[in-house]
Amino acid sequence: MLRKRIIPCLDVRNGTVVKGVNFVGLREMGDPTAHARYYNDEGADELVILDITASREERRSMVHVVESVADALSIPLTVGGGIRSANDVRDMLNAGADRVSLNTAMVQRPDLIQEAADHFGSQCVVAAIDARKRADAPGWEVFIYGGHEPTGRDAVAWACEVEERGAGEILLTSMDRDGTQIGYDIPLLQALTAKVRIPVIASGGAGTLEHFAEGLLEGGASAVLAASLFHTRALTIPDLKSYLRTQGVPVR
């Protein structure tokens, strides 16, 4: 079994780390570079930084923030938010990112996935899917613009399509669980991981050590992502990795 990854996530707005619940009620949580340095030293396997308002505000992601964060890291960095073209992907990679996360722009123009994969390789392309359980039908719906706009797309079908188009990994966020700390959405994870061959990162809902193990073992995720639980230092990455080893989960 491949080793599982532990990934902190920095949601950034106006150059500051923020976190909310169900994509709303954002509160400020400090400087992204300071957080990055801490996680690098803590033993995180990777770091994700998302400019959460760039797409809605129709602007590019903040290159200077990415450069500062990248300078603080010796682990892989994934950057998302406001990336609309292959040139934007190049700019983020040049700023120090190892991978880029595509969301709103790839839903609006799916060819962007192939363009990015063709130019830079599938390993550089992370397809971010924000999904919410449908109230009036089975399954989960894809949302864009930081969770503000429904698309009508089925999350599982969209996951299969992004894989076919060349994405190398999926970052799957449950909007229903985001910031709640009640656990990952295991049925959503199982539905996706049963259909795609590329790695899936579980995001949204982690609140206890057990939740991480559930996401990896029951949900089938290749990596688990969390934000506020790590930002508040309620849980450390060394403690989490130690616990996962006791559960038979191979970690780095």
**Domain ranges (residues) in the chain:** 5-246
Residues 147, 149: Cα–Cα separation, whole Å: 6
Does the pTM of the predicted model rise above 0.75? yes
CATH 3.20.20.70 fits 5-246, yes or no: yes
User: Helices then strands (H, E): number in the chain?
Assistant: 10, 12
Q: Is 11 a catalytic residue?
A: yes
pLDDT attached to residue 224:
98
Residue type for position 119: H
∠ CA 126-108-151, rounded to 5°: 95
Q: Is 130 a catalytic residue?
A: yes
Across 193-206, average pLDDT: 97
> Is pLDDT at 1 greater than 70 in this prediction?
no
Across 93-109, average pLDDT: 96
- CA end-to-end span of the chain: 12
Residues 11, 88, 91, 185: which is the catalytic one? 11
Inter-helix orientation angle 86-94/111-120, to 10°:
40
* Band of pLDDT at residue 8, cut at 50, 70 and 90: very high
Residues 45, 91, 130, 178: which is the catalytic one? 130
**pLDDT tens, residue by residue, 147-185:** 899 999 999 999 999 999 999 999 999 999 998 999 999
Hunting for tokens 């722009």 — which residue is that? 105
Question: Within 13 Å, how many C-alpha atoms sit on residue 235's CB side?
Answer: 24
